[in-house]
């Protein structure tokens, strides 16, 4: 027998999830609920998006950065891409949306490469560049060799 999450927890989790991932992503997930996955959707909404993302100990941007480092280290590239995309698309004026900038992503991936391995950093860079191109935000060219 499983215990169903409370309605309050589901509602708060959905609010958090919408703020961080955007309405379109959440609507797609919720509208695809079925007899197989509905309990899983409720679980992650209540457990991850309310119990964790509502905690006061870390701000949402820090939580998103941790998600990026963890998912890259574990090779969970679909979740990494989701948080890169929604972080880049988030309004920089809305802290609760956990917006990301290129400098932050670069630092996360450099540190990930050292602690989780160069292949993780390399794949993270490739996925980030793909998403940036899709968003029409390709980074400007830079010389490989530093200026003297």
Whether 141 maps to a domain, the answer reads no
Q: Is it the case that residue 54 has pLDDT exceeding 90?
A: yes
Whether 69 maps to a domain, the answer reads yes
The answer to whether residues 88 and 131 touch, using CB atoms and an 8 Å cutoff, is yes
Distance CA 118, CA 55 (A): 32
Q: Among the three residues 55, 70, 90, which one is the final residue of a domain in this structure?
A: 55
The answer to whether residues 125 and 109 touch, using CB atoms and an 8 Å cutoff, is yes
Report residue 4's pLDDT band, with 50, 70 and 90 as the boundaries. confident
The answer to whether residues 97 and 90 touch, using CB atoms and an 8 Å cutoff, is yes
Q: Domain limits at 83?
A: 58-135
Q: What is the pLDDT of residue 2?
A: 60
Q: Do 19 and 68 belong to one domain? A: no
Whether 142 maps to a domain, the answer reads no
Q: Do 50 and 12 belong to one domain? A: yes
- The answer to whether the pTM exceeds 0.75 is yes
Mind listing the pLDDT tens digit for each residue in 92-103? Answer: 999 999 999 999
Q: Do 34 and 65 belong to one domain? A: no
The answer to whether residues 63 and 99 touch, using CB atoms and an 8 Å cutoff, is no
Q: Do 37 and 97 belong to one domain? A: no
Q: Do 127 and 65 belong to one domain? A: yes
Distance CA 60, CA 80 (A): 16
DSSP state of 4: P
Mind listing the pLDDT tens digit for each residue in 15-32? Answer: 999 999 999 999 999 999
Whether 140 maps to a domain, the answer reads no
Report residue 147's pLDDT band, with 50, 70 and 90 as the boundaries. confident
Q: Do 120 and 83 belong to one domain? A: yes
Q: Is it the case that residue 1 has pLDDT exceeding 80?
A: no
Structural domain total, the chain: 2
């Amino acid at each position: 027998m499983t215990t169903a999450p409370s309605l309050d927890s589901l509602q708060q989790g959905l609010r958090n999830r919408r703020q961080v991932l955007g309405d379109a992503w959440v609507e797609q997930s919720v509208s695809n609920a079925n007899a197989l996955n509905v309990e899983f959707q409720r679980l992650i909404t209540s457990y991850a998006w309310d119990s964790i993302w509502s905690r006061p100990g870390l701000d949402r941007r820090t939580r998103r950065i941790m998600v990026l480092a963890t998912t890259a280290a574990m090779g969970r590239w679909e979740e990494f891409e989701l948080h890169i995309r929604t972080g880049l698309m988030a309004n920089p004026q809305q802290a609760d949306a956990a917006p990301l900038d290129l400098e932050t992503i670069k630092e996360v991936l450099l540190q990930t490469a050292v602690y989780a391995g160069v292949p993780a950093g390399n794949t993270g860079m490739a996925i980030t560049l793909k998403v940036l191109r899709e968003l029409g935000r390709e980074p400007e060219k830079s010389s490989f060799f530093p200026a003297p």
